[in-house]
Amino acid sequence: MTTWGVKEYAVSGRDSGPYAITTGPDGALWFTMVHSGQIGRLVPGQEPTSHQLAPDSGPTVISNGPDGALWFTEYRAHRIGRVTTAGRVTEFALPTARCGPFGIAAGPDDALWFTETAADRIGRLTTDGSVTEYPLPCTGAFPSAIAADGDAMWFTMNQANAIGRIGMDGHITVHELPTAAAAPVGVAVGPDGGVWFTEIAAGQIGHRAPDGRITEYPLPDRTARPHAVTTDADGTAWFTEWGGNRVASITSDGMVTAHDLPTPASEPHGITVGPDGALWTALETGALARIGPTTSITTRNTEQENAS
């Protein structure tokens, strides 16, 4: 059994609210601070730095762009932001007022794709600032996270109890989930093309295989409120347990391994594979946590399966 360790690194005050995190092209960890309106940067072993935005902008999800910069959503300001690795910030207004952009990811077409939670749309932004919006086929869906897969993007529909797929031509397909009111949030695509997603209200991790079969894995702690998810090079999915104060992994056969965080009620949100190959998560208490090999309890879940 592999032994893992968890270490926290303070990067801000407790009221700044580190939220999402990614590894940038410069080998640093980049993260949003939703409450203080900042974009942070941490090179492991060095002091953190930050770039100030408007205090009420609410930077939320951050992702690598196709142009060597970092792109992020400003949930409260209803904009998309761009920051270079040198710290230069540019912001782009969106056509739909008060649309609530949340998830963002680079697509296979070298554009940025993002969700509009309050407008029931998926947006596409080119690196020169041109925006196209695609309405969802339903209202009140609250599209949340988004991830790239080959020639399409996958996204969660938090209030529609579904995951969606949008092609580069804007065609949208909706896949309903087996469990009612599961409230999916995070989404990630594995190296095999399987789609992993978190069901925050159901306390489950979902997986859609390339053949369309959806499998749901109930977590040992059904009140854990799984939030963000990513995959490593081996195809293992890693996710944060916002309510359980843990980071956990799940394999394709339903094996869950959980790692407790040392600070109580630290509220882990975003998660990424770091430049050192370890898993890193952003904690609302003002820190980043590193989870890497250094004893943990493993359990196998009973599966709930449904073809979709």
207 is catalytic: no
Q: CA 56, 61, 67, 69 torsion: positive or negative? A: positive
Over its C-alpha atoms, the chain yields an Rg (Å, rounded) of: 18
Q: Which of 78, 207, 259, 269 is catalytic?
A: 269
Residue type, 210: P
Q: In the prediction, which pLDDT does 301 show?
A: 55
Residue type, 177: L
Does residue 8 have a known ligand-binding role? no
Beta bridge partners of 149: 152
pTM, entire model? 0.94
How distant, in Å, are the alpha carbons of 36, 52, 68, 241 from that of 229? 24, 27, 23, 10
28 CB-side CA count, 13 A: 21
Q: Which domains does the chain have, with CATH numbers?
A: 4-307 (2.130.10.10)
Ordered per-residue pLDDT tens for the chain, 308 residues? 567 899 999 999 989 999 999 999 999 999 999 999 999 999 988 999 999 999 899 999 999 999 999 999 999 999 999 999 999 999 999 999 999 999 999 999 999 999 999 999 999 999 999 999 999 999 999 999 999 999 999 999 999 999 999 999 999 999 999 999 999 999 999 999 999 999 999 999 999 999 999 999 999 999 999 999 999 999 999 999 999 999 999 998 899 999 999 999 999 999 999 999 999 999 999 999 999 987 444 445 545 444 44
Tokens standing for residue 27: 């080998």
8 A C-beta contact, residue 184 and residue 177: yes
CA 290 distance to own-chain centroid: 17
Which long-range CB contacts under 8 A does 171-176 form with residues at least 24 apart? 172/122, 172/134, 172/136, 172/137, 174/136, 174/137, 174/138, 175/208, 175/212, 175/214, 175/308, 176/308
Does residue 284 have a known ligand-binding role? yes
Does residue 176 have a known ligand-binding role? no
